[in-house]
Structure 1
């Protein structure tokens, strides 16, 4: 097996549900030794979530977010188990937690407490709204983050009911931003010898991913509103209906606009004052699409996509997830994996969304059973002299 970039980095994952587990899985995919610390008996609450199962008791959601980890069960309210946890902290580089502000402190696992055990620890805390500010103590879910960051206000169709992004941009975005901060802190620690505290939140992730939409507010003074599939900066750039189905295309610059007009047989529109430049096309976007609608009804979606692509105009069919995952391109990019599992046999999971040429990622560990590595991890601590192997209590 190729040595992965994060081999030798140990991460303690004391998070649950999505943002923290996703962050830690990405670190594990790159080679980190991720130890998932879970409450005895119940574990990560996502193990019991969702209304469907494959074969075992763990939900497909848990399986999707927890590969390349080992599991140890510790009751962090119990003194003896907390000492085992502190022993693990002495061996760790990174700790990731996603409780509401104040919870970690009550359990004796705040940044200050763990820094006293290991001064070099990098501690990432992921919460709904961050550790400071008037909303800090509010419970945080992706839905709330999307609502209060402005994302929902600009999603959906004009005049329609509020619509959230089906992709949990707050949760997954917070996990991604936490990875970026953790790796930066690891590099910084190599120079300074010091760890640090990382404060990430679902709210700021959703807001941070709004970097494009917010330019409309600051550029025009008007808050972005829902546009359906249309684009705020280019037109035409959206979904349109062919004779049999919808498809998408984007004539996002002047060259593509002229090529698009040749494809649809309407070159005279290049001289129409309403559509001369992208600026005019955006102002008159509704009028433009209404003019184009009858033209698209002349061919099927597949036919339009074929002729547009041949002319160099970006276009694509609208696939559901079953179609997308079954595509030849998905297979070529190895984006569906069959992951071996001690209970499921194998299960399907998304592959690695970025490729590393010299150190390709690997599924080294299936998503762990609850407490699957209890004995193994305690034995490792005992071998390091951090745990009494006979009594199972951490060395004091």
Structure 2
């Protein structure tokens, strides 16, 4: 496990020394778990915010156990992917002492983020109305399934359910079978992006007005948005989107084709691209200029004929031949890759999307970069996701001024979990 990381991926290049960070000085108290909430707070951490991840002692966020779990890390690759640049604080919120500490941290926060089931934070006295009494300028973001109020506030939400109920699944796959979900948690990731955007907007508003606010981002609301312009197409026409596999209902020829050695995708998004494809790439100016193929609608009506013509041409040469010709002609195209091929591709290496970063337990771990490139405030250098409670004592000393006697008293009271779940090792609270 991770045996080839040093040869497969370059070492992370540090940000310029002394460069400012976009969110330096912003403290985020993070009560989130699984994907949507933690990915949102990770983006804030990458921008320079100090993100304090509040976890249950011992096991921590259940997402830590998603496979594959490295035996020396005691956490899985998915958790590393979504929790870098954070500090972990282990608190037992079921004890009065642990809850007191959590409330004290929230009182010092610029931002509080949570994605518990509706009502949980209110029971803990950690909801917006409770926190704003001691921290009126707080920016408070709740990531929910179907909203915190209303007839569906009690429903649990997970990415594939949101994909199904939003209509997203109905749009994807092939016409002769049931719709399919996206294996990537696209609804969780996009909800995280929405939550991050909402928080950034609220921080700008606070800077201008002096007032904090609460906000909510619902997984279902975001999932409906993720069906794209199909929503308004349906309202205009009354027709439901149909499944088209790898082809497009709006542009033609767009889809997967076969060269001699591998598959690739072409997107002929307009008439000029089609004409360049036919005249310059496959050397069929007669088709490029044929009135029968003049418009996207004309081409879609004769899709099978057009795909057969292109398929016959592409089968004569390898992908490298066609790629060079299409790049020269300005025809959008790309090979159909596996995930492993994608992250080791020339494009990914050029953009340094996957690098390796040091880890005290295993030497190196992989890191997936954010697709944000600030000119003046570069993204923070990545620090691997923490162990459960790794920074508990450090944070409480720093943020709340607790001395050793206070920390020992809290530990004895079970605020950091029972002694059996606390590890007096290098990975224990510092």
TM-score higher than 0.5: yes
Residue 121 of structure 1 corresponds to 138
Residues 234-249 of structure 1 aligned to structure 2 (within 5 Å): 234-249=251-266
Looking at structure 2, the residues matched to 210 and 179 of structure 1 have their Cα atoms a distance apart, in angstroms, of: 20
Residue 49 of structure 1 corresponds to 66
Residues 245-256 of structure 1 aligned to structure 2 (within 5 Å): 245-256=262-273
Is 1:365 aligned to 2:383, yes or no? yes
Specify every segment of 5 or more residues in structure 1 that has no aligned partner in the other structure, as ranges: none
SS at structure 2 position matched to 1:282: helix
Looking at structure 1, the residues matched to 86 and 68 of structure 2 have their Cα atoms a distance apart, in angstroms, of: 24
Is 1:319 aligned to 2:337, yes or no? yes
Displacement of 1:392 in angstroms is: 4.4
Displacement of 1:348 in angstroms is: 0.6
Q: Mean Cα displacement is larger for which, 4-13 or 375-384?
A: 375-384
Displacement of 1:390 in angstroms is: 7.0
Residue 367 of structure 2 corresponds to 349
Displacement of 1:191 in angstroms is: 2.0
Looking at structure 2, the residues matched to 230 and 320 of structure 1 have their Cα atoms a distance apart, in angstroms, of: 19
Residue 72 of structure 1 corresponds to 89
Question: Of residues 226, 232, 245 in structure 2, which corresponds to 1:209?
Answer: 226
SS at structure 2 position matched to 1:247: strand
Residue 25 of structure 2 corresponds to 8
Question: Of residues 184, 194, 200 in structure 1, which corresponds to 2:211?
Answer: 194
Residue 101 of structure 2 corresponds to 84
Q: Say if 1:90 and 1:377 are closer, same or farther in 2 by CA, change over 3 A.
A: same
Q: Report if the CA contact (8 A) 2:396-2:402 is conserved.
A: no
Q: Which structure ranks higher in relative contact order (CA pairs < 8 Å, sequence separation ≥ 6)?
A: 2
Q: Report if the CA contact (8 A) 2:145-2:219 is conserved.
A: yes
Displacement of 1:47 in angstroms is: 1.2
Displacement of 1:281 in angstroms is: 2.0
Residue 278 of structure 1 corresponds to 296
With structure 2 as the length reference, what TM-score do the two structures score? 0.86
Looking at structure 2, the residues matched to 95 and 310 of structure 1 have their Cα atoms a distance apart, in angstroms, of: 50
Displacement of 1:133 in angstroms is: 4.0
Instruction: Report Cα offsets for 1:228-252 as digits up to 9, x if no partner.
Output: 1222322112111223321111221
Moved over 6 A (4+): none
SS at structure 1 position matched to 2:212: coil
Residue 416 of structure 2 corresponds to none
Instruction: Report Cα offsets for 1:322-381 as digits up to 9, x if no partner.
Output: 221112221221211212223232101212311112221123532111111111111113
Q: Report if the CA contact (8 A) 1:341-1:347 is conserved.
A: yes
Q: Report if the CA contact (8 A) 1:156-1:163 is conserved.
A: yes
SS at structure 2 position matched to 1:117: coil
Looking at structure 1, the residues matched to 397 and 191 of structure 2 have their Cα atoms a distance apart, in angstroms, of: 34
Q: Say if 1:7 and 1:332 are closer, same or farther in 2 by CA, change over 3 A.
A: same
Specify every segment of 5 or more residues in structure 2 that has no aligned partner in the other structure, as ranges: 1-17, 412-430
Instruction: Report Cα offsets for 1:107-152 as digits up to 9, x if no partner.
Output: 2211111122211111111122222343332110000000001110
Instruction: Report Cα offsets for 1:263-310 as digits up to 9, x if no partner.
Output: 223222235444211232234434432443322222222322221112
Is 1:220 aligned to 2:240, yes or no? no
Q: Give RMSD over aligned pairs.
A: 2.2
Displacement of 1:159 in angstroms is: 1.3
Question: Of residues 275, 287, 292 in structure 2, which corresponds to 1:269?
Answer: 287
Q: Report if the CA contact (8 A) 2:275-2:289 is conserved.
A: no
Q: Report if the CA contact (8 A) 2:68-2:77 is conserved.
A: no
Residue 136 of structure 1 corresponds to 153
Displacement of 1:19 in angstroms is: 0.4
Looking at structure 1, the residues matched to 339 and 375 of structure 2 have their Cα atoms a distance apart, in angstroms, of: 27
Residue 102 of structure 1 corresponds to 119
Is 1:152 aligned to 2:173, yes or no? no
With structure 1 as the length reference, what TM-score do the two structures score? 0.93
Looking at structure 2, the residues matched to 355 and 82 of structure 1 have their Cα atoms a distance apart, in angstroms, of: 38
Is 1:288 aligned to 2:312, yes or no? no
Aligned residues: 393
Looking at structure 1, the residues matched to 356 and 109 of structure 2 have their Cα atoms a distance apart, in angstroms, of: 30
Q: Say if 1:219 and 1:288 are closer, same or farther in 2 by CA, change over 3 A.
A: farther
Q: Say if 1:134 and 1:282 are closer, same or farther in 2 by CA, change over 3 A.
A: farther
